[in-house]
Amino acid sequence: MTATAISSENLDIPADIAATLVDPVAYADDRIHDSYRWLRANNPLGIARPENFDPFWVVTRHAHIQAISRQNDLFHNADRPTTLTTRAVEERVRKITGGPNLVRSLVQMDAPDHPKYRALTQAWFMPVNLGKFEARVREIARATVQRMLDRGGQCDFVADVALGYPLHVIMEILGVPEKDEPRMLKLTQELFGPQDPDTARSREQLSAEQFSAMMQSVVNDFGAYFRAITEDRRRNPREDLATVIANAKIGGDYMPDHDATSYYMIVATAGHDTTSSSTAGAIWALAQDPAQFAAVKANPELIPGLVDEAIRWMTPVKHFMRSATSDTELGGRKIAKGDWLMLCYASGNRDEDVFEEPYRFRADRKPNRHVAFGYGAHLCLGQYLAKLEMKILFEELLPKLKSISLDGEVKMTQAYFVNGPKKLLIRFEVG
């Protein structure tokens, strides 16, 4: 698609709202939700033309997100960048890789590759298999909770609990040694937070070439690390997920190195970063609402609902992009072959047509048909593990707390792809 591929039939969204969609700071200070609300009410399927980006459709309604996500032949992942990317960065990435994306994970695949690659590990992430990890996850949760309680009534919940807990769980399942977890955390933050001054590998204003080189260096670091893991697991197989990936074969051959690196990366990064954000989001909400904290503490049966609501509330993955493979129509609007579409999951999860009181955090929300894990064939592979980790942590933590409150301003990461709390100071009483 070129900058002129989408025709304008008075479908353009206002320039200030288009600018908000590509402003990382807007995702940290909640302005993005004001823009989403306006779009759902006034132009739920409009065209954004922000400076330096190819134009794209902005999909803000729950029903439209689901409709696109169901039609994988009509709306592809791999033809254009799967996350929002400037025109210059896309051009640079194509020069580096020959394609629109720096990595080729499940997220950047379409059929026939996507179902083949997904099937390699899908059984590992199903509830029947995760059951064998539950006791170990609970051990990790108990140790995490005890470290928090030992801090004497106050902590930064992100740094002290939410970051390390899911990281430790997924790295143990994957087979990464505990001593290497800080390295994995740093690389993940550099990958998902390249626009945030606290996590970016470089803090200067970068050209497209410099930005692409910075991101490629992160991918290269992941690749170097996991190539050594692959070599080891082929020589010495273990009962871990790295062994499955290292020895997996597609059409009789091992995965190409780039595909294997991408596979490790999506497990190692998405497997903890998004769970961290949702876990922190739940505590943030309970710290602001003593009545709801008391209700969940008194009735542990509300914990699964608390987990789902926290995932809806935070929606850590704010968007993915799709591209149309042929001319089609959606919501009465004509979408042309090659058009680029932004699926705004955080908007779909505040859709007034689907969620009663969408701007209230409600642990008792039923049903909770959020799209934070995506929808359709690309539904998040790790959703059951994420829910299990959060459920166990809250089962271990909430009975030990008498009260919880905020102890300072909450800070969010500045990023328009994946974001969540990066600082959450709380006070708590034990009892």
Q: Is 223 left (phi over 0), alpha (psi -120 to 50) or beta?
A: alpha
Lowest model confidence (mean pLDDT) among 39-43, 100-104, 190-194, 277-281:
190-194
Q: What is the DSSP letter of 101?
A: -
Residue 339 falls inside a structural domain: yes
Q: How confident is the model at residue 74 (pLDDT cuts 50, 70, 90)?
A: very high
| Strand arrangement of the beta sheet that strand 45-48 belongs to | 45-48, 56-59, 340-344, 319-324, 75-76
Do the domain assignments include residue 7?
Answer: no
> Is residue 3 included in any domain, yes or no?
no
- Find the CATH number of the domain harbouring 66: 1.10.630.10
The pLDDT of 311-337, averaged and rounded, is 97
Helices 134-149 and 164-174, interaxial angle, to 10°? 150
Give per-residue pLDDT as tens, 20-43.
999 999 999 989 999 999 999 999
CB burial string 83-94: b at 16+ within 10 A, e below: bbbbeebbebbe
Token digits of residue 344? 């705004």
Structure tokens at 22: 């590509």
φ and ψ at residue 208, rounded to 5 degrees: -60, -40
In a domain, 1, yes or no: no
Instruction: Note the pLDDT tens digit of each residue in 158-171.
Output: 999 999 999 999 99
Would you say residue 2 has pLDDT above 50?
A: no
Name the domain count of the chain: 1
- Output the average pLDDT for the chain: 93
Q: Is residue 2 part of a domain?
A: no
- Is the CB of residue 125 less than 8 Å from the CB of residue 382? yes
Q: What is the arithmetic mean of pLDDT over 241-267?
A: 94
Residues ≥6 apart with Cβ < 8 Å to 143: none
* Helix pair 257-270, 208-235: axis angle to 10 deg: 100
Q: pLDDT band at 7, cuts 50/70/90?
A: low
Q: Residues for the chain: how many in total? A: 431
Residues near 146 by beta carbon (within 8 Å), at least 6 away in sequence? none
Domain that holds residue 298: 15-430
Residue 255 DSSP class:
P
Using DSSP, state whether 341 is helix, strand or coil.
Answer: strand
Rounded Cα gap, residues 86 and 100, in angstroms? 11
In a domain, 8, yes or no: no
- Are 76 and 68 a contacting pair, CB within 8 Å? no
Largest CA distance in the chain: 62
As a whole-number percent, the residues of the chain with pLDDT over 70 amount to: 95
For 102, the 3-state DSSP assignment is: coil
132 located within any domain: yes
Assign 72 a pLDDT band (cuts: 50, 70, 90).
very high
Q: What is the pTM of this model?
A: 0.94
pLDDT tier for residue 5 given thresholds of 50, 70 and 90: very low
Distance CA 389, CA 391 (A): 6
Would you say residue 9 lies in a domain? no
Q: Give the span between the Cα atoms of 276 and 421, in whole angstroms.
A: 9
DSSP helix, strand, coil percent of the chain (3-state; round to 5): 50, 15, 35
**Dist CA 65 CA 59 (whole Å):** 6
- pLDDT band with cut points at 50, 70 and 90 for residue 92: confident
pLDDT at 9: 58
**Contact criterion met (CB below 8 Å) for 55 and 47:** yes
Answer yes or no: is pLDDT of 260 > 70. Answer: yes
pLDDT-based confidence at residue 141 (cuts at 50, 70, 90): very high
**Closest Cα to residue 389, out of 212, 134, 108, 218?**
134
Q: What are the distances in angstroms from CA 411 to CA 35, 185, 332, 399?
A: 20, 18, 40, 27
Distance CA 424, CA 161 (A): 10
